[in-house]
Amino acid sequence: MTDTPDQGQEPTPEEAVHPETAAVLGGRADGELSLAPVLYPTSTFAFDSVDEGRRLATSMAPDRFYSRYGNPTINAFEATIADLEGAEAARAFASGMGAVSAVVLGICSSGDHVVAQRQLYAGTQLFLQTVCPRMGIDVTFVDGTTPGAFAEAVVPGRTMLVIAETPANPRLDLVDLDDLGSIANALTVVDSTFATPLGQRPLDHGVDLVLHSATKGIAGHNDATLGVIAGSQDLISWLWGFATLQGANASPYDAYNAHRGVRTLGARLRQQSETALLLAGFLEGRPEVADVRYPGLASHPQHELAVRQMRSMGGLLTFDLARGIDAGRRFVEATSIARQATSLGGPETLVCHSATTTHVSLTPDELEASGIGEGTVRVSCGLEHVDDLVADFGRGLDAAGV
């Protein structure tokens, strides 16, 4: 009779597995027989002695003390993300913006300098433009698609943080991760929400921190709101200390849903990517469409870079309707399978008119600098049959007119 492996035992480094397998195996406690993630909904735990209380109060991410410090459900999700990103540690937050604000304010102080790209999620851009100046933190925006732009904007001795987002919201512009990772005199962080940990691994390119709105593709079912960062133990320890004071900690319920969701990320991302490529090709052939952006298309201006640094091209695509805002409105209001909503990465295909939703806070000049036009529509491909989506998009384009 052969020996039976322990039920909760994860593979050793010598038994390295593919990322899709790691997503299923990750975050399981040794000896835990539950196949589903285990939910600990409590806000606090009892301890037996004063000495134990002191130890827990002075430990990083204790899993049975007070849930703002740590919680077994949240810690298991964090361990899975760290594993998928090739990181030493991770920290979860109540939202993607909770993660963004913790990174910026946890690293930067008054008088410091931040370099960020212009092609950003509007919430991040608004935070950098409004909150940072109030804290005495200067921000310089650059074109993230220009080689060397980040490094050229770094001010030695002042620049603490370089922030990139790739693929960028909403036009799927890419940042060269090797170029970014080569910056040695500032900490670098990549918002990799659109790619997910199975689409790319920025830390492998020398980047210091990777950040996700885990609300999106990681959780993947529109039933959780949380963010997560991953990086070295030293950096996460520093940011963990700030995060316990910031208070934007993840809910155990949301961490449970996200941990459950990440186990199907490989299958979801594979189908969503296949659908996105087929839809992008369909849109390229329609006269109502002026431009289509998808990294998997040869027509994407950075397609070669995408092939070099992305394992999956993802389920997001963006296109511009030739007749502007009226065409955009008619398109998104005419689709019936694809629904209007501003999130992404879930089982439902979602469409949104970027200038009036995700980036409505930007001025006309800022929209132009980000490449967002009046007819720009962002698509998050879901899990419906692609033929049904092609027919649905055809109806929307017919309504948009030439």
Query: Letter for the amino acid at 211?
Result: L
Residues linked to residue 231 through DSSP beta bridges, in sequence order: 89, 209
- Given a contact cutoff of 8 angstroms between Cβ atoms, the answer to whether 67 and 249 are in contact is yes
**Is 191 designated active site?**
yes
Burial 152-170 (b: 16+ CB within 10 A, else e): ebbeeeebbbbbbbbbbbb
By residue count, the chain amounts to 402
**Spatial CB neighbours of 324, under 8 Å, sequence gap ≥ 6:** 373, 374, 375
Of 112, 176, 179, 191, catalytic: 191
Helix (H, G, I), strand (E, B) or coil at 198: coil
Q: End-to-end CA distance of the chain: give it in Å, rounded.
A: 71
* Cα–Cα dist 232/212, whole Å: 16
C-alpha separations of 300 from 76, 106, 205, 296, 317 in Å = 38, 36, 22, 7, 11
From 328, 286, 282, select the one nearest 170 (Cα to Cα). 328
Beta-strand ranges (E) seen in 311-366 are 316-321, 339-340, 350-353
**Is 398 designated active site?**
no
Query: Letter for the amino acid at 5?
Result: P
Q: Is 136 exposed, middle or buried (0-12, 13-18, 19+ CB in 10 A)?
A: exposed
From 205, 224, 226, select the one nearest 102 (Cα to Cα). 226
From 187, 142, 193, 147, select the one nearest 167 (Cα to Cα). 193
**Is 330 designated active site?**
no
Of 91, 216, 268, 293, catalytic: 216
Helix (H, G, I), strand (E, B) or coil at 82: helix
**Is 216 designated active site?**
yes
* Cα–Cα dist 374/42, whole Å: 47
Other CB atoms within 10 Å distance of the CB of residue 366: 17
Q: Which helix (H) or strand (E) holds 152?
A: helix 149-153
Of 40, 69, 121, 294, catalytic: 121
* Cα–Cα dist 178/186, whole Å: 15
Of 66, 68, 118, 204, catalytic: 68
**Catalytic residue numbers, as ranges:** 68, 121, 191, 216
